[in-house]
Amino acid sequence: MDLETLAADIEAYYRDTAATFAAAQARSGLACPPGCGRCCLHPDIRVAPLEMLPMALELWRRGVAERVLTELESAGDICHAFQAGEREGQGSCGQYAHRPFICRAFGVAAVIGKNGPAASVCATLKGQVDAPIVEASELPVLSDWYAGLGTLHPELSDSQININNALRLCLNRILTIKHFQD
């Protein structure tokens, strides 16, 4: 399967999941504070490389793939796509339309722990989870949705790595393939 087709399939999967996550969010009442970017500032967001393919392909289409690869060399571990706001902890996603799966599911999906399902939330949302409106067992289970995503390309889904490393991996793969296609 070529990269464009794979990226289109990934984005279609994201669209398919959107209604489920939106419904779960509406049921739970969980909502991020306006402008909050704290989850994006986590120093080790981990994703399957597959999740970053749509973003990487978009960067390549815009002709900035090489530039971003250079920037990633000194980017540290905070997500390269994060655009800091004026206040500490605030900011936005510079690649919102092409953000990975975890950024769509975090806060509205459940993870299965030894005590059963628990909402995947940050410290800011934790206070909302403690309110009785949330039943984690009613939230979509993150691993189930990851399993569905993984069927699109098992090799690019079999590990979870730092978000910037995943973007780097996808950019390098795209540039290598495009180089030999030209």
Query: Does residue number 79 form part of the binding site for ligand SF4 (CB under 6 A)?
Result: yes
Q: In the complex, what is the shortest distance from the CB of residue 157 to ligand SF4, in angstroms, rounded to a whole number?
A: 17
In the chain, helix, strand, coil percent, each to 5? 55, 10, 35
Q: Is there binding between residue 93 and ligand SF4 (CB under 6 A)? A: yes
In whole angstroms, give the CA distance from residue 173 to residue 75. Answer: 19
The one among 7, 50, 103, 125 contacting ligand SF4 by CB under 6 A: 103
* Separation CA 178–CA 182 (nearest Å): 6
**Residue ranges in the chain assigned as alpha helix (H):** 3-28, 53-61, 65-73, 101-105, 123-129, 142-150, 163-181
Shortest Cβ 79–ligand SF4 spacing (Å): 3
Determine, following the binding rule CB under 6 A, whether residue 81 of this chain makes contact with ligand SF4. Answer: yes
Query: Which of 24, 40, 48, 129 is close enough to bind ligand SF4 by CB under 6 A?
Result: 40
Query: Which run of H or of E encompasses 162?
Result: strand 161-162
Q: How far is the CB of 37 from ligand SF4 (least distance, A)?
A: 7
CB of 180 to ligand SF4, least distance (A): 29
Cα distances (angstroms) measured from residue 174 to each of 59, 61, 69, 99, 168: 10, 10, 12, 17, 10
Alpha helices in 62-162 (DSSP H): 65-73, 101-105, 123-129, 142-150
Nearer to ligand SF4, 7 or 103 (CB): 103
Nearer to ligand SF4, 45 or 149 (CB): 45
Q: In this complex, which beta carbon is closest to ligand SF4, that of residue 60 or of residue 82?
A: 82
Q: Residue type for 163, please?
A: I
Nearer to ligand SF4 by C-beta: 105 or 136?
A: 105
Q: Kindly list the residues in this chain that would bind ligand SF4 in the complex (CB under 6 A).
A: 40, 45, 79, 81-82, 93, 95, 99-100, 103
